[in-house]
Structure 1
Amino acid sequence: MLLLFSLGTGQAATIDLEPLVTGLARPVAIAHAGDGSARLFLVLQEGQVLIYDGTEVLPTPFLDIAPLVSCCGERGLLGIAFPPHYRSSGFFFVNYTNTAGNTVIARYRVSADPNVADPASATILLTIPQPFANHNGGQLQFGPDGYLYIGTGDGGAAGDPQNNAQNLGNLLGKLLRIDVDNGEPYTIPPDNPFVGKAGAREEIWAFGLRNPWRFSFDRLTGDLFIADVGQDRWEEVDWQPATSPGGENYGWRRMEGKHCFLPSTNCNDGTLTLPILEYSHEQGCSIIGGYRYRGSQIPWHYGTYFYADYCSGRIWGAREEKSGRWTSTLLLETGLSISTFGQDEKGELYLAHYSESDGTLYRLKGKAPLPPLCNIQMSQPTYRDGDTVTASVVQIANPGPSPLAVEIKVWLESPASELFSVLNRGADGSLLLPPETEKDFGPVSLFRVRPAFARGEYALNCRVLHPITGATLVLDQNRFSLQ
C-alpha cells in the first residue's frame, strides 16, 4: 500500500510514503547493522530495540533494557549505532537515559542468535549528568573514520541557563568523538581538536549545540549534517565538510539559527559557524534531521538532503548549488509526528511516525507517475537508398527536481555498432535536461540513406540516464530497416 500525502503548494509531489510496520510504541530511531542482512533496527523509547527483516517485525526484541531506562518526554532509549566491524565483533552501542535521569553510552554484544543481543554484556562507556529532564540529544553514529560520534543536548531548561553549550569543560551541547576500538572503555582520538587544551574535555569534536536531533554523514562524501532543535524562533541544519579538523562552534546560545539570542545584538565575533539551512517556527517547531540521499530508487533526488519537522509533519529536500549555497524545497505535507529518519544498507530512506501505541515505519518512495519520458515513433518501418529516415515524434520529459541526461543514438543491431548520435551535446553524447521540463522535438530528420550504409535492422534508442551514476532510468526503442 502506498499512502498519498499532500504537497499543499500547487506543485507535484516527488515522493510518497509507504507504510511498512504499524503498532509501534514510541519509535525514535532507525538503523542498520551494515552486516549484509538488510535488517532494520527500530529503537523504541521505552527501552526496546526491534528487528524488521524486510517482511515483518520479529516477535522477540533484539534488546530490551526497559528496567534501566527512564522514559518518556525527551528521555528514554534514544539511539543505536553499529560499528563497521559489527559482523565480526558483534558489538553495538546505545544511548539511553538511566533511572537517575543521566545520559548513558553503553556497549552491548549480540548473542549466539544473530537476532537477539545479550543484555548481560553491557559495558558503560560514559555517564553524562543531566541537570534537567529535556535536551538529552541521543544520536550515535560511526563516522567514515571509524570513530563513534555522539550528540548531546545542552542540559535542558530554556535558553541554556548554565551556558553548557559554550563551556568546553563539560560534555553538554556538544558533538563528541571517541575511539571505541583501542582501549577500555574508550580512548581519545589523537587529532581531536581540544586534546591538551587546559580545562577542556578532550572528547569534544564540536560545540555550541542546543539539542542535535539528528546528525548524519553523507555516505559518498563523508560530510556531516547536524539538525539542531531551536528555542523560540528558528530551527537549523549545520554542516561540516569531511576535511574539517573539528572544533566548530555552531553558536548556541549566542545565536539561534543565524540570529542573535544571548546577547541580543553583536553576538557573532567571527568565530561561529553558521547553519547552511534554517526555518522559522511559522513552518514548524522541532527539526528532525535526515540524510543526504544516495540510494537508487528515487534517482531524481540523488544528492538531496532530507529533513522534516516533528510538529508540522513537513518534509523538505535541500540541494547544494554550484555556488555552495543550499536551497530547500517543501516536498511533502504529511500531518505525521515524524520522530526520526533512517537509512538502510543501500542508501534508501525511512522515517517513523511517533505515537504511544500506534507508531509507524515508512519507506520513502518516488511518487508515481514520476519516471522521465522518452518517446520515439518512426515514420515508417523500412527505408531505401535516398530515403530520409525520420522520427515522427521525439518527446522527452523530466518531471523531477534534478537534472537528467538524455541520449539518443542510432545503432545497427547486428553486428552491433553505433551509426551516430542524434543529440550530441557534450563529450558524452548526452543532453542535460533541466528539472521539471518537457521537450517535444516534433518530426526529426535523422539522416538520408546512402549506399555506403550497411543494410539490416537498426534501432533508434532514447535513454534517460542518471547524470552521476549513469544508470538507465528509461529506455524507449524503435526499430527500422535499411534495404
Structure 2
Amino acid sequence: MQKNQMSQMIVYGILQLVMIVLAGILGFHFTREYSLIPKAIIHLPDVYVSHSDYIQVLTIFFIGYILQLIASNLIYKQAAFSSLKRFMNEYIHYLFAYTTVSLYIFLATTINYDPQFIAAVGLFSTVLYWILGVIILVHNKESGVAQFFGTLIKRFLSVSGVLALVYFLVPLGLGKAFSSDRDIANKITQVRIWFNPVAETDWGFKNFIPGQVFHQPVLAKQAPDDDNNIYVLERFGKIYKINAVTEAKPELMLDISSELGEVEVENGAVGLAFHPAFNFNHTDSRKPYIYVYFTDTRPTGYQRNRLTRYDLSQQSLEERNNSGQTVLDLHREDSGFHNGGSVEFGPDGFLYVALGEGVHPKVAKSYQETMRSGILRIDVDMNEELSNPAQPFKHGVIANYMVPKDNPFIGREDIRHEYWALGLRNPFRISFDVETNDLWVGDVGSTVWEEINLVEKGFHYEFPKIEGDNDKGTQANDLGLPDKGPVYTYQHTAYDRAVIGGVVNRSDNYDQLKGKYIFADNYSAKIFAFDAASRKVENVEFLARANQYAQRGVSSVTQLRGGEILITTLGAASEPSGEVLQLVKASEATVTVEEGKEEEIPKDYDEQITSALFNVNCARCHGVKGDGDSPDAAHLGVALPDFTSPLYHFKTSKKQMLEVVNKGGAQTGKSPLMPPWQGFLKPHEIEHLIIYIESLPAKHHHH
C-alpha cells in the first residue's frame, strides 16, 4: 500500500469519526426539543436519556465505527473518498454498521433506548456523510453533484442497497414494537437479561404456595390474629384464602370482577386491608371487614376509583360479594393511569389510603375539590371523640368514615381534611415499620425518576414540580407547606423503571437484613435493600431477581408476622401464571427464571397467515378485532364472546376453546350457530387460531 493511500485513509478516517460523534451530539440535542418522527406517523414513547447513557451511546457508535472503518479499508485497500464507487460501498457498509450498533445498544445493554435519538443519529450522520462525500469527490473531480446523487439512487436499488435500507429500519421497528406489544417487550427483556446477567448473591426465591398460580396477583397478606392463612388479591377482582400450613386448595372469599369493568393499563383491584379487629375474640367487638381499593371502568362519561368495605363473615360467596359498603367512590380521568393503590391500617387504628395524581375528573384538580396525589388518613370506625364528620364532596361519593381531629390540614379551606401528606405522583405501595411506626412509600415516577419516601404528617413531597433529585431552585409547592425529598431515588435504565414499595425487616429470619428496607422494581423484578435508619441513601444492595419481569414482574413486597418476606409476580394477563414467592437463602431457592417463561409457540406459527385465516373464517361473526362487533352480530340472536377481553381468557381455558372450535357449539353446550371446524381446517390451523385468539387482549390493549 502506497504511503499516500495510507495518509488518505487516516485523514478520511478521522473525518468520518468526527462526523459520527457530531451526528450523535446533534441527534441528542435535537431530540430533547423536537420529535424527529411525528407521532401521527409512528407513536413512539417519550424516553429519558441520562447524560451517562448519552455518553455511552456516543462511545459505542465511535467504537463500532472504528471497527467498520478498519474492515472497509482492509477489504478495499483504498480510502473511502478516493472514488465515487468506493464511497458508495463505504456508505452501504456504514448503514450496516450503524444498524448493528443500534441493535447492540437496544438488545445487549441497559441503556434507556430512545428510538427518536437513535434515528436522529442515523439521519444526521447520513446527511453529514453525503455533504462530506459531495465536497471531497467534487473537489477532487471524481464526481459531479448530479452524478453523485444519481449513483447513490442506483446503489440503493442494488440487492445490497435494498438489504441495507431494510436492515436500517429494524431498530426503529423494534423500538415501536417494544413500546406497544407486551409479548415483544417480554422477549426483548429476556434477551437484555441474557446479555446482562445479574451477579450471584446470597438470596433467591422459593414458591410459598407450591404448585399454585394466580391470575395476576397484586398482593399477599395475612389477616390479624391468623398465622395459618394468607389472602391473595388478584388484579381481576378475586380474593383467595390459602392455608399455608396444610396447602389445601385455595378458597374463593370474594369475587368482585363484575364491578371492575375492563382491566387494562393500570386498572383493576390493587389494594387490600383487614380491619384490626377482623379476628377479634369477642364477637360483639369483632369487625370481619376487608377494605378493597379498585378501579371501575364501566360508567359512561366518567370512570371511578373505589374503596369498598366487604364483610367476610357472611356464609356464602354471593352474600360476601353483596355486602359491599362504599367508603370512597372518586370520579377520575379516563386514561387508567396513576391510581395509587395501597390501603393500610396504621398503628393508630386509622386507615391510610394512597392515591395517585390521576384520580380526578378533568374539571377538578385542586386539593380542596379532589382526593389525589397523596396519602389520606380516615376513621372508618367513626369514633366521634376522635374524629369529625367529613366535608361535603362534589366529584363522587364518600361515606362510612369520619376525619381524625389531629389530621394536619384541619381548619384549612384549600386542602381537604382527609389528607395526611401531599405531593406524591403514584404511591402504589405503602407500609408501616412495625418497630418505629414510620410510614414508607414507594412512589412510581414518570419517565426519569423512581422514589422511596419516608412520609410524615403534613409534608409535601414535591410532585409535580420536582421528581427525584432535581435541583429545587424554588419551593416545591404553592401551599406554604414544608417540602421533603426522597430517601432514595433512581433513574430509569432499560429495565429498572417502576418502583414497588416494600417493608422494613425487623425479623430474625433474615439476620443479614435486620433493620433494612426491602423493596423491588416491577419491570426488572429485582429486589433491593438499604438501611432503614438512613435518611438519604445513594446506593442500595441488590438481593435477587424474581422469575418474571417486564409487565409480568413484581407487584408487591410484604412480610408475614412469622418474618417471611413474600413477593407477588403478576404473570400474564391472559392466563393464571402469577405466583407468591418467598425470599430465601440461595441454598433454599427453588425458583429459576425459566419457570417464568411463556408457553412455547410452535415454530411454524405465522401470525400474518393465521390472522388472514381468522378473517376469512371467523370475522364475519366474531368481528375483525375479535371483539364480537361484526356485520352479522345483530342478526345472530346470541351474545358473542369478546376475545379481546382478558376476562374472557381468564374464564375460558385453551382446552375449552379447542373443544368448541373442533366440535362446534351444538356438541359443547354453546350456540348451534357455531359450526364444527374439525375436518374443515387442519389440526395445526385450529391450534394456530387459538394462539392468535389468545394474543388478542394484548393487541386490543395497545391498538
TM-score of the superposed pair, with normalisation by structure 1: 0.68
Q: Which moved more, 1:52-61 or 1:184-193?
A: 52-61
1:156: how far off?
Answer: 6.9
* Equivalence for 1:379: none
| Counterpart-to-counterpart distance in 1, 2:371 and 2:207 | 38
Letter in 2 for 1:111: S
Secondary structure of 2:404's aligned partner: coil
* Equivalence for 2:202: 14
1:86 correspondence with 2:274: no
Tell me if the contact between 1:287 and 1:310 (Cα under 8 Å) persists in the aligned partners: yes
* Equivalence for 2:540: 328
1:152: how far off?
Answer: 0.6
| Counterpart-to-counterpart distance in 2, 1:151 and 1:103 | 12
| Counterpart-to-counterpart distance in 1, 2:534 and 2:294 | 40
| Counterpart-to-counterpart distance in 1, 2:418 and 2:588 | 49
Letter in 2 for 1:339: S
| Counterpart-to-counterpart distance in 1, 2:544 and 2:515 | 18
Richer in helix (by share): 2
* Equivalence for 1:364: 583
1:353: how far off?
Answer: 1.1
| Counterpart-to-counterpart distance in 2, 1:59 and 1:325 | 40
- When residues 122 and 19 of structure 1 are mapped into structure 2, their CA distance, relative to the original with a 3 A threshold, is same
Q: What are the Cα deviations for residues 250-307 of structure 1, in whole angstroms up to 9, with x where unaligned?
A: 11111111226xxx96464793210000111016111111111122321111111111
* 1:378-397 to 2 correspondences below 5 Å: none
* Equivalence for 1:103: 305
Which one has more relative contact order, counting CA pairs under 8 Å at least 6 apart? 1
Secondary structure of 1:300's aligned partner: helix
Secondary structure of 2:352's aligned partner: strand
1:56 correspondence with 2:254: no
Q: What are the Cα deviations for residues 73-104 of structure 1, in whole angstroms up to 9, with x where unaligned?
A: 21111111012111121112111112333111
- When residues 341 and 268 of structure 1 are mapped into structure 2, their CA distance, relative to the original with a 3 A threshold, is same
1:26 correspondence with 2:226: no
| Counterpart-to-counterpart distance in 1, 2:291 and 2:218 | 15
Letter in 1 for 2:377: R
* Equivalence for 2:441: 226
1:111: how far off?
Answer: 2.4
Tell me if the contact between 2:204 and 2:588 (Cα under 8 Å) persists in the aligned partners: no
Secondary structure of 1:104's aligned partner: strand
| Counterpart-to-counterpart distance in 2, 1:34 and 1:249 | 32
Partner residue of 2:522 out of 304, 310, 313: 310
Tell me if the contact between 2:242 and 2:250 (Cα under 8 Å) persists in the aligned partners: no
Richer in strand (by share): 1
- When residues 192 and 330 of structure 1 are mapped into structure 2, their CA distance, relative to the original with a 3 A threshold, is same
- When residues 248 and 19 of structure 1 are mapped into structure 2, their CA distance, relative to the original with a 3 A threshold, is same
* Equivalence for 2:382: 182
* Equivalence for 1:257: 468
| Counterpart-to-counterpart distance in 2, 1:232 and 1:57 | 43
Tell me if the contact between 1:230 and 1:236 (Cα under 8 Å) persists in the aligned partners: yes
Secondary structure of 1:118's aligned partner: helix
* Equivalence for 2:82: none
- When residues 313 and 122 of structure 1 are mapped into structure 2, their CA distance, relative to the original with a 3 A threshold, is same
| Counterpart-to-counterpart distance in 2, 1:293 and 1:57 | 28
Tell me if the contact between 1:24 and 1:360 (Cα under 8 Å) persists in the aligned partners: yes
* Equivalence for 2:505: 293
| Counterpart-to-counterpart distance in 1, 2:318 and 2:561 | 20
* Equivalence for 1:476: none
Secondary structure of 1:194's aligned partner: coil
Letter in 2 for 1:14: D
Partner residue of 1:121 out of 323, 326, 350: 323
| Counterpart-to-counterpart distance in 2, 1:112 and 1:60 | 14
Q: What are the Cα deviations for residues 52-76 of structure 1, in whole angstroms up to 9, with x where unaligned?
A: 2104364431111111113232111
- When residues 187 and 326 of structure 1 are mapped into structure 2, their CA distance, relative to the original with a 3 A threshold, is farther
- When residues 207 and 238 of structure 1 are mapped into structure 2, their CA distance, relative to the original with a 3 A threshold, is same
1:277 correspondence with 2:496: no
Tell me if the contact between 1:297 and 1:365 (Cα under 8 Å) persists in the aligned partners: no
1:152 correspondence with 2:355: yes
Q: What are the Cα deviations for residues 180-239 of structure 1, in whole angstroms up to 9, with x where unaligned?
A: 112660000001111121132111111111111211000111011100000111100000
1:321: how far off?
Answer: 5.6
- When residues 257 and 345 of structure 1 are mapped into structure 2, their CA distance, relative to the original with a 3 A threshold, is same
| Counterpart-to-counterpart distance in 1, 2:319 and 2:564 | 25
- When residues 323 and 176 of structure 1 are mapped into structure 2, their CA distance, relative to the original with a 3 A threshold, is closer
Indicate the percent of aligned positions where both proteins have the same amino acid: 27
* Equivalence for 1:466: none
Tell me if the contact between 1:235 and 1:281 (Cα under 8 Å) persists in the aligned partners: yes
Larger-Rg structure: 2
* Equivalence for 1:167: 367
Secondary structure of 1:298's aligned partner: helix
1:17: how far off?
Answer: 0.7
| Counterpart-to-counterpart distance in 2, 1:259 and 1:114 | 53
1:197 correspondence with 2:197: no
Tell me if the contact between 2:305 and 2:359 (Cα under 8 Å) persists in the aligned partners: no
Letter in 2 for 1:31: K
| Counterpart-to-counterpart distance in 2, 1:117 and 1:361 | 28
1:37: how far off?
Answer: 3.8
1:151: how far off?
Answer: 0.5
Letter in 2 for 1:151: A
1:74 correspondence with 2:266: yes
Letter in 2 for 1:83: H
Tell me if the contact between 1:8 and 1:333 (Cα under 8 Å) persists in the aligned partners: no
Tell me if the contact between 1:15 and 1:366 (Cα under 8 Å) persists in the aligned partners: yes
Q: What are the Cα deviations for residues 98-127 of structure 1, in whole angstroms up to 9, with x where unaligned?
A: 233311111111125599972222110111
Which consecutive residues of structure 1, in runs of 5 or more, have no partner in the other structure?
Answer: 371-483
